[in-house]
Each structure stands twice: as C-alpha cells, then as structure tokens.
Amino acid sequence: MAYYYDEPSRTFNEYLLVPGHTPADCIPAKVSLKTPLVRYRKGEEECPISLNVPMVSAIMAAVSDDNMAVALATEGGMSFIYGNQTIEQEAAMVARVKAYKAGFVESDSNLSPEMTLGQVVELKEKTGHSTMPVTSDGTGTGKLLGIVTERDYRLSRMSLDLPVSEFMTPLEKLVTATEGTSLKVANDIIWDHKLNSLPIVDDEGNLKYLVFRQDYDTHKENPLELLDDEKRYMVGAGINSRDYAERVPALVEAGADVLCIDSSEGFSDWQKMTIEWIREHYGTDVKVGAGNVVDRDGFRFLADAGADFVKIGIGGGSICITRETKGIGRGQATATIEVAKARDEYFEETGIYIPICSDGGIVYDHHISLALAMGADFVMLGRYFARFDESPSHKVMVNGTYMKEYWGEGSARARNWGRYDLGGKKSLSFEEGVDSYVPYAGPLKDNMAVTLLKIRSTMCNCGALTIPEFQDKAKLTVISSTSIVEGGAHDVLLKDKTPYVSNV
C-alpha cells in the first residue's frame, strides 16, 4: 500500500520566525554569513570550501555564465555555470572566470590603425566603451600601438573617414606597465600620472589588460570576495549523468572549484554512477554536489554515494511545472526541514557534515532567512539572479516596463534533456518548465546588498551572529491563511496604489 505522509507539504510562505532575545552587541554589521559548501569532518577540520554568503546562482542558461560568476563571487557567493552547452563552451566560461583578475580588464573594444573615425563612433555606440586600445591586428591581445579616447577626436571638426592612426594617442606618449604589476602598483601609476586607464603589456609589447582608475577602489569595497588560494574568483559548474567522462576532465582542467550534477530528480543510480566515476578518477580532490532530493531517503542515498553537498527541491522553481506535468515534488519548506534533519542525523552517526542547499522557490528575500533557519546551509536561486544586469538573458521592454527573459531548463526553449534524463534517448519528450519574463532589477551588487542586510537583520532579531547559531536558536511557526493577510498592509487606504513587492 502507498505511504502517506502525516504532514502536508508546505512552502516557505506558510512559515514565520518568532524573534528571540537580541543582545546589545548582536547587530547586523557583526553577523557572519560564512557557510560550508562541501562535506567535512565538522569539529575536527576546517571545511575545504566555504561561501562567504549563503547564495549560489542556478545552473541555468538564463542565469549563470562567466559574467554572473564574477559578479556573484565578488559579493561572496558562487555561480554554477550552466551545463546545457558544449563541453568546450562550458570549460571556456569556467576558464574565463579563473583568468579574470579583479581590476584587470581584457579589452573587448579594440581598433586597428586602419579603421576610421566612423568605425570608432560605431564601436562606442555598440559597447558603450570610450577607451579603445589600438593594436596591430585590432584584437585585445595584439601589439599595442596606441589608444583612442574621447579626448582624441572632435566629431564637429574631423572627417569620419580619418584613419585611427592619425588621431590616436600613440604608444610613445602612453604610460604603460608590464605584466605582473599588482593592482595596487597599477593604481599608484594611474594616480601619479593622472591617467584614466593604464594598459598592461607583456615583454613583446602585446596588450594583456587595461586597468581603470575606479577599479581599485571597487576592489577594496568587496571584503567578502570569494577567492581561491591564488586569489582567483571561485566558480562552480554543472555536469550531467551522461557525458561526465568527457565533461568533468575538461571542467577540472579549466579550473572549476566545485561541480554539481544538475538533475530535476537526484535519487537515482545515474547520480551514484557519476559520483563513483569522479571518485575513481580524482579521489576526493574534485568536489561534486548532487540532487535534487526532497526527503530523508534521497539524502541518505546521495550522502552514502559520496556527494559533497546535496541539493533539495523538486517542482518549487518559479519556472518549473514538474508538479503539474508529472505529479512529483514536495513543498520546499517541508523538504528542507526533513533533509536538514537527515543531514544532522548523518553527522551524529558518521562525524561527517554534508552541507545542504535549498534550490528554487525563493520568492521574497525573507524566504532565504527561512530556508537557513530550517537548516539549509545555502540557497540556490534562479529567478532572483535572472533579473540583474549581469545575467546572460536579454533585457526587453514589455508594456512599458523593462523585463529580463527567464526560461526553465526543462522548457522547449532550453531542451536540457540531460537534466531530465532517465536513460533512453537523448531528447526532451515533454516540457517541465516555461519561458517567461521577470522584472529587470538593475545591478546585482545593489540588490544583494539589500537582501543580505535583511537576512542579517532577521538573524539579529533571533539573537544569532552566525548561520549555525541561527539554526540553533530559530523558532518557526506555521501561519494560518488569515495571518498571511495580517502580515501585509491591511485595513488602510494605500496612498501609493502600486502593490508593495519586496522581491519580484
């Protein structure tokens, strides 16, 4: 006979935190959001990889490319580069994140000396960049010959046919620095010579990077940056349970810090086989998360298989229709609570702590706090990050409002069959996701600052300065449908008719 759960399957929106005592020194500025990412012997060793903030971006083509990865690592979180692309493309994205040096920009608006002023104007309009290096072959890595900035031309006085070589600032008048110059020294040179940008060249005079005046200050403003031992940004990458023998080596070679098997349903032999293959070829050097699961049995299976972290969530994603199409899934709060208990039980038994990630279904910022309070070590978000400038999708105007495109990996647009693979032919037979718009929200940095402040404030209300302390002290209550109404503005006539939405 089928098994019936006693408890209904609940979402984050059905819970609230009840505040605890807040000591006077428990203030948001003192809260640490550091959290473990991969399995470790808690109490005996340091976790080999931790996040500085408990947020990672979803393994989705509309969310996590190299650009997003750099922006999120700058704030202390981590992106998992999407796997539904060729192995070469995914590895190249990972390699670009690892090659990125904060403050050292690989120039992507370049000129050759034969190009014309008209082409300079066109390029400026297209990229928005006003500093353009001139190189022998017109690429960002060619021999540096000069630079064109807005100070080099006057459109009202000069012919659009004039070649770049005639009005650029030539190399002999430029201040440059050699490869290996630190960002601090580069910044000193910029200030000493009153420059706006400093080209960095190699021994042969080939352009490597540009350093801009404001970037050092920006770099100093990011105390939570997630960096590896060589001070490179950390990045994760999605894999599937079919082509791992080719994909994993390429991603490891490219420098991925952690991998994650991307699947809508992770309680399967496919995942076990994938982890076993990784252990056989790389031991525990290569870290790999697995999922998604929604109960104790699924967690135990992946924990025993050797997963470094376990992801929770089926059907809760904003673009996900798995529950409608297949009738499987579980409310995200209920799933998180049960898996957190299983994680603690596993730790008691083995001394090994396996971090868990609540994936999908975060609608409001406070849902992140609830997920953490319920035991999640970190959360994965798709819709949240898709709204920002840094996501790879297009910004479009819909009915007078800017939107970003956001589509599920199980939608006809993505056709990520690897994520829904149950053996058989390599194709997506029916949709489990939709194609949608989400309201454009501007830069990641600004939005995350507010979100993280809300989490820190909630933690202080519960008297906690760290995530483990928060999980220990949190008191959660299920709320009735009428108290949900009470939670918003009610029984008043709002002056501003725009509905209040904290995070849509």
What single string gives the DSSP state of each residue in 74-105? HHT-EEEE--SS-HHHHHHHHHHHHH-BTTEE
| Side-chain-facing half-sphere of 384: CA atoms under 13 Å | 30
DSSP 182: -
320 counts as catalytic = yes
Of 330, 419, 460, 462, which is the active-site residue?
Answer: 419
CA distance 473 to 342: 19
Q: Is residue 272 a contact partner of residue 301, using CB atoms and an 8 Å limit?
A: yes
Q: Which residue has the tokens 């699961």?
A: 293
| 299 and 310 Cβ atoms separated by less than 8 Å | yes
Minimum CB separation of residue 84 from ligand RVP in Å reads: 10
Q: Which is nearer to ligand RVP, 207 or 333 (CB)?
A: 333
Burial of 502 (0-12, 13-18, 19+ CB in 10 A): exposed
- DSSP E strands, 66-160: 78-81, 104-105, 132-135, 144-148
356 vs 289: CA distance, rounded Å: 9
DSSP conformation class of 233 = B
* Residue among 26, 47, 260, 320 flagged as catalytic: 320
Strands 435-439 and 475-478: unpaired
Q: Are 213 and 190 in contact (CB under 8 A)?
A: yes
Q: What are the residue ranges of helices labelled H in 21-86?
A: 66-75
Q: How far apart, in whole angstroms, are the C-alpha atoms of residue 154 and residue 148?
A: 12
In the bound state with ligand RVP, the residue whose beta carbon lies nearer, of 146 and 360, is 360
In angstroms, give the least distance from the CB of 396 to ligand RVP: 18
Residue nearest to ligand RVP (CB): 433
Q: Give the nearer residue to ligand RVP in terms of CB position, either 381 or 464.
A: 381
Least Cβ distance, residue 36 to ligand RVP (angstroms): 20
**Mode of pairing for the β-strands spanning 401-407 and 435-439:** antiparallel
Q: What are phi and psi of 273, to 5 degrees?
A: -65, -40
Q: Which residues are near ligand RVP by CB under 6 A?
A: 58, 60, 313, 317-320, 322, 359-362, 380-384, 408-411, 432-433
Instruction: Tell me whether residue 61 or residue 465 sits nearer to ligand RVP (CB atom).
Output: 61
Q: Smallest distance, Å, CB 198 to ligand RVP?
A: 40
Query: Minimum distance from CB of 434 to ligand RVP (Å)?
Result: 7
Identity of the residue, 26 or 56, whose beta carbon is nearer to ligand RVP in the bound complex: 56
Spell out the long-range contacts of 482-491 with Cβ–Cβ below 8 A and sequence spacing 24 or more.
483/16, 484/13, 484/14, 487/16
Instruction: Take residue 143 and report the two structure tokens written for it.
Output: 């021999």
- Smallest separation, CB 200 to ligand RVP (Å): 37
Residue 232 DSSP symbol: P
- State the nearest-atom distance from the C-beta of 322 to ligand RVP, in Å: 6
Question: Which CB, 160 or 412, lies closer to ligand RVP?
Answer: 412
Rounded Cα gap, residues 243 and 238, in angstroms: 12
Bridge-based pairing of strands 378-381 and 356-359 is parallel
Known catalytic residue at 415? no
Among residues 93, 95, 138, which one has the least CA distance to residue 119? 138
Describe the strand order of the beta sheet including 197-201 as a list of residue ranges: 104-105, 207-212, 197-201, 177-178
Cβ distance to ligand RVP smaller for residue 104 or 267: 267
Token pair of 95 as six digits: 């390699």
Tokens found for residue 460: 């202080």
Nearer to ligand RVP, 207 or 357 (CB): 357
Nearer to ligand RVP, 78 or 320 (CB): 320
Shortest spacing between CB 85 and ligand RVP, in angstroms? 15
Mutual angle of helices 269-282 and 244-254, in 10-degree steps? 50
CB of 359 to ligand RVP, least distance (A): 5
How crowded is the C-beta side of 35, counted as CA atoms within 13 Å? Answer: 29
Q: Which residues have a catalytic role annotated?
A: 320, 419
